[in-house]
Amino acid sequence: MELTSSARDGAGQSARRGFDGPRRVDWTDFAFAVLLAGGAAFAFHWAGGIMNYYDKAILVGAVPVLAWLGWLWRPLRGLMLAVAVSGGLALALYQGDLARAEQVFLLKYLLSSQSAILWMCALFVLATACYWIGLVGRSGTAAWLGTALTWGAVFAGLTGLLVRWHESYLLSPDIGYIPVSNLYEVFILFSLVTALFYLYYERRYDTRSLGGFVLLVIASAVAFLLWYTFDRGAQQIQPLVPALQSWWMKLHVPANFIGYGTFSLAAMVAFAYLVKAHGKTASWVRLAPLFVLGVLLAVEPMVFRQSGMPAYWMAYAGIAALVVGAILLGRRRLAERLPSLEVLDDIMYKAIAVGFAFFTVATVLGALWAADAWGAYWQWDPKETWALIVWLNYAAWLHMRLIKGLRGNMAAYWALVGLLVTGFAFLGVNMFLSGLHSYGEL
């Protein structure tokens, strides 16, 4: 199914109708920038002694970047201020003693890193349920609650990461590090990035009907986090291995996971696109490719059963496959309530374009980090090779769209397959292939 030029124009108009658009700088922008500068000054005063030159440069550079983001998307301001307050309260309650995490009520049940992250997991699951109730039952209240819970989950997750950062220094200044160094931490980062980009597009296109689809991939990440926490004790803070003791990590990993998050968002939007496109299809033969892809994505985490808790992952795979089947069975009703194909196509394209840009930057930064750590920019390590495969996949997708006009079902199927490729690059390489990046294995 190809989109005509008039349909593409309609997609652009739909986007503009749902987005408040750029605005002039006003006094609130200056006030927010002053608050950010004050926060940076406090950070210099409080932690300047343990920050190196690169840490200080990143902190200074973060002020204009965050001010610009707050101008571009106003809800981020409230989120950043709320996280600053919750994080500051946690730091004050710790009083330099990590043992207080089990002694102080607010730390134990709300603000310690592990408590906040578990709240994040619970809120994401509840948000997923509310979005689906809102979509299936045409309940605006349930859908609104899904949005509110998603914002709450992002707030809890960001608070958890910020407090975990402080907790690592409470263990020892030599251990302290930014929490983006292992699978536990980057799965949290992945969930937060995916949710934030979804919330941005939800506001821009003035629709909540995609929340249930996008939150499914976040719920999968939550399932992994819970297993990784209770089976492996992954929440424990461990000293960094030498290869990760680099300021490059603070740039490379976040950029990488912006790519992973937006690619995953695009895949789930592509799934919604195909559900809508096949909404009136009676033949399961035509639905077979979508069903197979959905089931593959549902059972892909079954590979974790080799590492323990087989019953957990078998139950997960069974529930996930049932969800996919239920979505396809109810495709006619869902198709009526999803945004137009033009809007879905536009979101899918924009998400991939943003992800590709950040993933490209992350790949370049990774090469520079490799040269600094190992003396060579590229060594065809399995992780590097699969990162290149992911990059080539989306480069080809964008090339075919921009040069050949790729749209419709083919673009959506391709984006959905891209999630399988990205998933293997993200986790499969760490599990099945050894190399220079083997420090990230399960």
Question: Are 421 and 346 members of one domain?
Answer: yes
Structure tokens at 331: 């495709």
**Dist. CA 94–CA 169, nearest whole Å:** 12
Structure tokens at 164: 């975990």
Kindly state the greatest CA–CA separation across the chain: 67
| Structural domain harbouring 134 | 86-237
**Could you tell me which of 377, 293, 300 has the C-alpha nearest to residue 328?**
293
Structure tokens at 191: 């969930």
Structure tokens at 60: 């200074």
**Dist. CA 201–CA 351, nearest whole Å:** 9
Question: Are 201 and 258 members of one domain?
Answer: no
The Cα angle at residue 260 between residues 254 and 265, in degrees rounded to 5: 125
Structure tokens at 68: 């610009």
Question: Are 293 and 410 members of one domain?
Answer: yes
> How confident is the prediction along the chain (442 residues), in pLDDT tens digits per residue?
444 433 443 444 444 444 445 568 888 999 999 999 999 998 888 877 777 777 788 889 999 999 999 999 999 999 999 999 999 999 999 998 999 999 999 999 999 999 999 999 999 999 999 999 999 998 899 999 999 999 999 999 999 999 999 999 998 888 888 898 888 999 999 999 999 999 999 999 999 999 999 999 999 999 989 988 888 888 888 888 877 778 788 889 999 999 999 999 999 999 999 999 988 775 666 777 777 777 666 666 656 555 555 778 778 888 888 888 899 888 889 999 999 999 999 999 999 999 999 999 999 998 888 888 777 788 888 888 899 999 999 999 999 999 988 899 999 999 999 998 998 888 777 666 655 555 555 5
CB hemisphere CA count around 131 (13 angstroms): 28
Does residue 1 sit within a domain? no
**Dist. CA 45–CA 163, nearest whole Å:** 18
Does residue 311 sit within a domain? yes
Does residue 19 sit within a domain? no
Reduced to 3 states (helix: H, G, I; strand: E, B; else coil), residue 180 is coil
**Dist. CA 205–CA 338, nearest whole Å:** 12
CA of residue 317 relative to chain centroid, distance: 21
Does residue 372 sit within a domain? yes
- How much is the pTM? 0.90
Question: Are 190 and 306 members of one domain?
Answer: no
Question: Are 143 and 57 members of one domain?
Answer: no
Q: Which residue has the tokens 């719920």?
A: 219
Question: Are 318 and 422 members of one domain?
Answer: yes
Question: Are 190 and 330 members of one domain?
Answer: no
Question: Are 285 and 431 members of one domain?
Answer: yes
CB 438 within 8 A of CB 315: no
Question: Are 308 and 337 members of one domain?
Answer: yes
Instruction: Count structural domains, the chain.
Output: 3
Structure tokens at 292: 């197979």
**Dist. CA 38–CA 152, nearest whole Å:** 25
Does residue 303 sit within a domain? yes
**Dist. CA 63–CA 171, nearest whole Å:** 28
Does residue 346 sit within a domain? yes
